[in-house]
Amino acid sequence: MAIKDLITRRHKDAGVRRVEDPFEALQTSIDRLFDEFRRSGDFATLLPALDGDHDFLLPHVDVSEGDDAAEITAELPGIDEKDVEVVLRDDVLTIKGEKKGEKEEKRKDYHLVERSYGSFARSVRLPFEADSEAVKANFAKGVLKVSIAKPAEVKEKTVKIPVRST
């Protein structure tokens, strides 16, 4: 008997219950890892994503660029301001922090306490090398907003060219 005979195949028409293939589960995990890598561009932020129990650690980050500044917004619900660190090195902004979660439920016949802890780091490569003095951060209601002013040589200026009629 060959090993391929032991693996249940997926048939659309057959009413056969499919046995979980460990290689397919591995492939799905690897695909998800590379999808996250493509979206974030930073491998260090993906390490917690290898285990599904740590998905709560990856904060959602939005990046936008205007004429005068780049703005990074990170959703950090349930995290205290003292547990967040913003670091700018060359053209990379890194948001680090520690997330602590606790859930307690008391009922007549049981007492449940669940705790989850972990640290995270998300890095964003800026399209310019920023001055560390040009960074402003604001943290309110679980949302971190970081604004980084562009250096003068990076700011774009549109110049209108007069049209002459001949």
Domains within the chain, CATH numbers bracketed: 55-149 (2.60.40.790)
Which is more confident, 155 or 89? Answer: 89
Which is more confident, 19 or 24? Answer: 24
Q: How far apart are CA 123 and CA 96, in angstroms?
A: 9
Q: How far apart are CA 112 and CA 91, in angstroms?
A: 46
Sign for the CA dihedral angle at 47, 51, 53, 56 comes to positive
The helix, strand and coil proportions of the chain, stated in percent and rounded to the nearest 5, come to 25, 35, 35
pLDDT tens-place string over residues 124-163: 888 888 888 889 999 998 899 999 988 877 566 677 888 8
